[in-house]
Amino acid sequence: MDSIVKTTHIKTIVVATQNEKKRREMLEILKDVPGILLKGVEDFPFLPEVEENGNSFLENAIKKASILANVCNTWAVADDSGLEIDILNGRPGVYSSRYAGLNASDEKNIEKVLSELRGVPREVRTARFICSIALASPHNLFFVVEGSCEGLITEKPMGTGGFGYDPIFLVPDYNQTFAELDSSFKNRSSHRGKALNLFK
């Protein structure tokens, strides 16, 4: 994001997500960007809820970033991300956060995925996390990036870190799930970490 800062004179960026765990992760990844004041949505009371009704992660990210950039009158960065499982034809995809129903918990979403993969052998439990990120100005200037991370879906949750589908997403090179790996490693190698680091 350093090069963008220099060319566009960005001073303040709002991390535009209502998901507290995701917000903390994004702030942690971006904290070393020089000369930027990072704010969360908690600094802007009465922000509107943005419906994620796009057909792609990128469409949702652009929508969230542009709406909140205009409401907050400053730059906003937003992501939309999710899990794509090959044998499920890319599901849960853009419905990852509500796969088991509207306002479903992480545990319920995981439970549904594992039930659909019951009996499926390891070698065909391939999946990836996808993250699309949009950085938007109040004047409709956009920068967009995407990151991905390949892995396998485990047969049961493992680890206590992270959030979302992290406990069932195995990184084959380390034979550990994102929920088992150190958070600093995850922030470098995850789909979100890869995407945000493209801005730097």
Catalytic residue among 2, 43, 80, 106: 80
In angstroms, the CA 92 to CA 180 distance is 22
Cα of first residue to Cα of last residue in the chain, in angstroms, is: 4
Least Cα distance to 1 among 67, 68, 59, 77 occurs for 77
Burial of 39 (0-12, 13-18, 19+ CB in 10 A): middle
32 labelled catalytic: no
For the annotated catalytic residues, the residue numbers are: 80
